[in-house]
A and B are shown apart, each in its own frame.
Chain A
Amino acid sequence: MTETTSSVAPPYPTAAEKLKFYGLWVGAAVVLLLLPKLFSSGGSLTTFSLIGISIIFSLSYNILLGQTGMLSFGHAVYYGLGGFLVIHAINIIGANKLPIPLPLVPLIGGLTGLLFAVLLGWVSTQRSGTAFAMISLGVAELVASSALILRTFFGGEAGISANRTKVFRLFDWSFGPQIQIYYLVAAWTLIAVIAMYALTRTPLGRMCNAVRDNPERVQFVGYDPHVVRYLAFCFSGFFAGIAGALAAINFEIANSAYLGAVQSGTVLFATYIGGVGFFIGPIVGAIFVTILSLGLSDLTQVWQLYFGLIFIAVVLFAPGGITGLLMMHRPLLKAGTFGRVLPSYLIAFVPTLAMLIGLILAAEIIVYYAVHSGDDTHIKAFGVPFDAANRYVWAMAAILLVGGYWVARKTWTFVGHAWDDATSVAREKGIAA
């Protein structure tokens, strides 16, 4: 190593930085290990398992969207095919008493996802942008409809099921109880997250970012952007297959919903809400969306409506996602000027909340008259009972919505000013925003 390099190149991480980096992964492993001790109910274990699966799936999606700049509307194809193959694999392993333990079965799903990505990806990754998005949509429709036509393999509308406990056992783990499934999912989540993070630090991973930023220029530094996109697509398919396999193991069933547009939409949704520009973005999004979809569906019938509204709000006001919003505050925290924006947040919170309550109330009343008109008018949303026919409730919804918006708009301007003030002070202190 020459003198120039050591003085000009970014320094290698110090021992302290390395410790912090590896400590983070060890910490994550410990948290995963201890989580069932804190929340031991079957319901929370299932939730954690679903979150783990969603994390792998969302991160695999972000290899396309965030890392390589490809918007796919059909990522569930690789997830679903991985799931179906794994159900068949479990049945075959069980019937023939093959010496393959369940923890290795997700690999079958991964290889299935990889295989189909290898087969279907070459054509679709020729172009990025609209052409890629359209082809992904076409392929997704094709596969989803064949799932209903090819009944022997996909089992039609009922899908196909398997019994995971019939698989060859290692160390007497039956994988009947949810806790064992949780640990299986947790282990695979950790492995997949580490692998996908490592991928971003390789020459291929860096060139993915280059292709995302400027595919034209990539061609003039020796790379074929098509090959870069194709390889990214294959990796993405592999990890999506693992996620699908874990879902199939968790539910012991695979059906056409695995491959469908809703599944493809949900992963786009989770990834985008979490933030595509950051590695941890999809992880945050997966946790948020899984908890929200499980929680909201208990609280209101039209939870998908709220999902849609949240998505629109994120696209319009926070294109960096939740992670982007949080990361925006890092320079302020470093400069110690976060205290300047905090009061404005608290002030804005009250009218904004009032506006949202008004919006929810109005939405629920409209849903009542549009869908359940004629039923009992005493309805319940978010655990709060109210009378949908009561004119005072209507008036309250209108006042909260309009009045809340009117006041909130003024407080948002206030937040904007406080924000500008705090960031300019941070910038003066030499901390880049």
Chain B
Amino acid sequence: MSTAIELRGVEKSFGITSVIRNVNLTVAQGERHALIGPNGAGKSTLFNLISGYMLPTTGSILLRDEVVSGLAPYQINRRGLSRSFQVTNVFANMSVWENLRCAVLWATGHRYAFWKNVDRLPEVRERTARILEDINLTARRDVPAGLLTYAEQRALEIGITIAGGADVILLDEPTAGMSHAETERAVALIRRLTEGRTLLIVEHDMSVVFGLADKISVLVYGQIIASGVPEEIRGNPKVKEAYLGEEAA
């Protein structure tokens, strides 16, 4: 199987504080890969590095065997990688419809066009409508995103992330702060929407992780201490000690 994301000896330090230490990670095409680890382990920093939001201090990051570290976030996005944010990060003053449409425009090739009527682009309408239905916000289409409930905003966050049709998706704690029922719905949504795509997900909820992931990597103090299929991770003593042990206790 070919690789979707590959990290080679990636390090990130802020001043003298090193946050990510010699991380090597491979995510295969079409794989659902979960990244777990205690708070402050550097999971979000790793996402920021992969998505181009931050530059690695050393090491390189490859997207489908092509080096992307050093590229701007929008360049990486155009190469087919899309990410969501841990803290909801939508266009608050714009309607749900407009939020999703903004995420569709580049992918449908309209770019910076100033000679087309945005309301009259059939393929944009079609794709936006499909995503809107996928995330179950049809009834909230014209509501400004800032006025949605928390769970709805999280759904919109996922919608924006997948709307551009990227085939490598990074989700940063998509179910954080959700109730049990909301989490279940969100997981079903993620499962459906990432069908046939590569998913790298940061998650704290172990039932989500073990229910969704094909592979799991454990990040502790900026280092990957284990990587493997769920059963291996469950049985790994190092993981138990560093992470699951703490959680269970």
A: residues with CB less than 8 A from B are: 1-2, 4-5, 8-10, 12, 198-199, 201-207, 209-210, 212-214, 216-224, 227-228, 231, 235
A133 to B91, CA, bound (A): 23
Question: Do A202 and B116 touch (CB < 8 A)?
Answer: yes
B67 interface residue (CB < 8 Å to A): no
Contacts A221-B106, A222-B78, A231-B112 given; does A214 touch B90 at CB 8 Å: yes
B74-112, CB < 8 A from A: 74, 77-78, 82-83, 85, 89-94, 97-98, 101-103, 105-107, 110-112
For residue A187, give the distance in angstroms from its CB to the closest CB of chain B: 22
New contact pairs (4) apart from A2-B129, A12-B119, CB-CB < 8 Å: A209-B98, A221-B103, A221-B106, A223-B74
Checking A207, A220, A224 against B83 with a beta-carbon cut-off of 8 angstroms, the contacting residue is: A220
Question: Do B129 and A203 touch (CB < 8 A)?
Answer: no
Chain A contacts for B230, CB-based, 8 A: none
Checking A10, A202, A209 against B113 with a beta-carbon cut-off of 8 angstroms, the contacting residue is: A202
For residue B78, give the distance in angstroms from its CB to the closest CB of chain A: 5
Question: Do B91 and A203 touch (CB < 8 A)?
Answer: no
User: Which B-chain residue is minimally distant from A13 (CB atoms)?
Assistant: B119
A5 to B130, CA, bound (A): 7
Checking A5, A205, A212 against B129 with a beta-carbon cut-off of 8 angstroms, the contacting residue is: A5
4 closest A-B pairs by beta carbon, nearest first, are A222-B106, A219-B73, A8-B129, A213-B91
Chain A contacts for B114, CB-based, 8 A: 199, 202-205, 231, 235
A235 to B114, CA, bound (A): 10
B115-135, CB < 8 A from A: 115-119, 121-122, 125-126, 128-130, 132-133
B160 interface residue (CB < 8 Å to A): yes
Question: Do B72 and A209 touch (CB < 8 A)?
Answer: no
B142 interface residue (CB < 8 Å to A): yes
For residue B5, give the distance in angstroms from its CB to the closest CB of chain A: 16
User: Which A-chain residue is minimally distant from B160 (CB atoms)?
Assistant: A221
Chain A contacts for B97, CB-based, 8 A: 9-10
Contacts A9-B128, A10-B97 given; does A222 touch B89 at CB 8 Å: no
A1 to B129, CA, bound (A): 11
B: residues with CB less than 8 A from A are: 51, 53, 72-74, 77-78, 82-83, 85, 89-94, 97-98, 101-103, 105-107, 110-119, 121-122, 125-126, 128-130, 132-133, 138, 141-142, 160-161, 163-164
Checking B51, B83, B118, B126 against A201 with a beta-carbon cut-off of 8 angstroms, the contacting residue is: B118
Question: Do B133 and A8 touch (CB < 8 A)?
Answer: yes
Question: Do A203 and B94 touch (CB < 8 A)?
Answer: no
Question: Do A216 and B118 touch (CB < 8 A)?
Answer: no
A120 to B98, CA, bound (A): 31
Contacts A9-B128, A206-B105, A210-B94 given; does A219 touch B74 at CB 8 Å: yes
Contacts A204-B114, A210-B102 given; does A220 touch B129 at CB 8 Å: no
A223 to B114, CA, bound (A): 14
For residue B122, give the distance in angstroms from its CB to the closest CB of chain A: 6
Chain B contacts for A217, CB-based, 8 A: 85, 89-91, 160
Chain A contacts for B105, CB-based, 8 A: 203, 206-207, 221-223
A185 to B83, CA, bound (A): 49
Question: Do A204 and B112 touch (CB < 8 A)?
Answer: yes
Question: Do A221 and B102 touch (CB < 8 A)?
Answer: yes
A209 to B95, CA, bound (A): 11
Interface centre among A198, A209, A222 (most CB of B within 10 A): A222
A12 to B120, CA, bound (A): 9
User: Which B-chain residue is minimally distant from A3 (CB atoms)?
Assistant: B129
A41 to B55, CA, bound (A): 66
For residue A220, give the distance in angstroms from its CB to the closest CB of chain B: 6
For residue A2, give the distance in angstroms from its CB to the closest CB of chain B: 6
Chain A contacts for B111, CB-based, 8 A: 203
A2 to B127, CA, bound (A): 10
Chain B contacts for A206, CB-based, 8 A: 98, 101-102, 105, 118
Chain B contacts for A213, CB-based, 8 A: 91-94
Question: Do A223 and B106 touch (CB < 8 A)?
Answer: yes
Question: Do A203 and B133 touch (CB < 8 A)?
Answer: no
